[in-house]
Amino acid sequence: MPPEDEGPDAVRRATDACLKLLSMRGRSRRELEQALARKGFTEAVSEAALARVKDWGYLDDERFARERATLLLGRGRLGPQAVAHRLRAHGLEEGTAQQAISEASDVVAFDALATARAVLEKRGLLGRPLGARERARAGRLLDSRGFSEDVIHRLLGEASLDPSGPEE
C-alpha cells in the first residue's frame, strides 16, 4: 500500500468517513470498522480514526445499544429476544445488549405481555375463539417477534381455544 494510505491524511479521511456515517444515524464500532474496511482503509488507519471518534464522544457502543433498544422496545412490535438479536447483529456483545434492554425496558415502561397482546390484536388474533391452527400461528408470530415462551403461553392461555373451531 502506498505511504499516503498510512499517514495522517489517511487517518483524517477515515475519521471524516466515520463522522459522515455517524451524522446519518448512530452506529456501533463494528459497523464503522466494516465500513472503513469496505472503503479500503488499513486496519492501523481505521483504529486511529475510531480512537479519535471515540475520544470525541461520538462512538460509544453502550450508548448506541441503549438508544437502539429504547427505540425498538418503544415501537411496541418486538420482544426483548428480538431486540437482543438485532443488537448482536450490530456487533454488540451479549452483556452489552442485555444491559441495554434492561435499561430501555425501564425507560419505556416496557410490558412484554401488553406488547404481545397488542401484536395479536393488530392481527385480529384476540377477542374471539381460536382454532388450533390459529393458535399455533399466533404462537409462531410472537416467537418470531422475540417474546419469551412464558409470555406466549400466558397470553395464549388467555385466548379462548375453541376445540371445535375451524382448522383453517
**pLDDT tens digits, 39-65:** 999 999 999 999 999 999 999 999 999
- Determine, yes or no, domain membership for 96: yes
Contact status, residue 123 vs residue 141, Cβ threshold 8 Å:
yes
Q: How many domains does the chain have?
A: 3
Is 168's pLDDT higher than 70? no
Q: Which of 38-52, 107-121, 127-141 has the lowest mean pLDDT?
A: 127-141
- pLDDT tens track for 9-45: 999 999 999 999 999 999 999 999 999 999 999 999 9
Q: Does 68 lie in the same domain as 52?
A: no
> How confident is residue 126, by pLDDT bands cut at 50, 70 and 90?
confident
Q: Which residues contact 27 (CB under 8 A, 6 or more apart)?
A: 21, 35, 59, 64, 90
Q: Does 39 lie in the same domain as 14?
A: yes
Alpha helices in 3-148 (DSSP H): 8-24, 29-38, 43-55, 61-74, 80-89, 94-107, 112-122, 132-144
- Determine, yes or no, domain membership for 86: yes
pLDDT of residue 158: 59
**Which amino acid is it at 115?**
T
Is 3's pLDDT higher than 60? no
Domain region containing 80: 61-108
pLDDT of residue 130: 82
- Determine, yes or no, domain membership for 167: no
Question: If we measure between CA atoms, which residue out of 26, 24, 105 comes closest to residue 70?
Answer: 105
**CA 138/CA 151 separation, integer angstroms:** 12
**What's the pTM value of the predicted model, to 2 decimals?**
0.82
End-to-end CA distance of the chain: 63
